[in-house]
Amino acid sequence: MNTSLENWEAQMRRGWLEVAILATLWPGRLYGLEIIRALATNSDLVIAEGTIYPVLARLLKSGLVSAEWVESLSGHPRKYYKLTAVGRKTTLILAKDSNEFLRKMLALVEPLLRENNR
């Protein structure tokens, strides 16, 4: 794959990363590694694992998530993140917008994919 196409795809994935993280936190609090594992299981977002922590820090500063350190049985503390009230509202709006956007994009790209597969 040529580099410009790879860059384009990387930019697209990066834009979706925050939405995916917020959606992953919807059911309840998770720590970084759990979020990474949930993303890997539930979506095809492939990222360098360390990338997620600066994004979480940004979400924390913007007030969409809160964080707390919790001691674990394994001996090292974990930093758990959960959606704030504002974060829940934002995530819901993002989910609706994403759904609408993806539906329109699919309507646009599906005909050409069908034609190409014939």
Partner 1 sequence: MSPNGHVAPNSVDAYSLRLRAALRGLPDSEVEEILREIRGHILERQEGEGDSERLLKILRELGSPEDIGALYRTEALVARARTTFSPALIFGSAARVATKSLIGFLSLLLGLFGYVAAAGFLWCAGTKPFLPDRIGLWRSQYRFSMGIIPPSEHAQELLGWWIIPVGLILGITVIVVTTALLRWMLRYALPPPAARFMRVK
Taking residues 32 to 71 in sequence order and writing x for each that binds partner 1 by CB under 8 A, - otherwise, the string is xx--------------xxxx-xx--xxx-xxxx-------
- Residue from 8, 14, 26, 104 that binds partner 1 (CB under 8 A)? 14
Taking residues 65 to 94 in sequence order and writing x for each that binds partner 1 by CB under 8 A, - otherwise, the string is ---------xxxxxx----------x--xx
Which of 101, 110 has the CB closer to partner 1?
A: 101
Is residue 26 within 8 Å of residue 83, measured between CB atoms?
yes
Q: Report residue 73 CA to chain centroid gap.
A: 28
